[in-house]
Amino acid sequence: MVIQKVRRVGNSFVVTIPKEEMERQGLGEGDEVALEVRKVVMRPQMSPAVRAAFEQSLETYAADFEYLKDR
């Protein structure tokens, strides 16, 4: 699956196909393609070590975070 951003070009919107995907699919200029268009929500994944450090900081600094919550 290729995920690309929608960009404005003049009065139109475009999505580009990376060269590597063009080659992998054997596509060339002028070929017709089918697209499934849907919005993708990207959620970053935390490594287990970062998650553990974050959770530890929440425990250690709970009072500080509570203080900063409404500021």
Please provide the DSSP assignment of 6-58 as one string: -EEETTEEE----HHHHHHHT--TT-------------PPPPHHHHHHHHHHH
7 φ, ψ to 5°?
-125, 155
State how far the Cα of 11 lies from the Cα of 8, in Å rounded to an integer. Answer: 7
pLDDT in tens, the chain (71 residues): 889 999 999 999 999 999 999 999 999 999 999 999 999 988 888 899 999 999 999 999 999 999 998 88
Q: Is this prediction's pTM over 0.75?
A: no
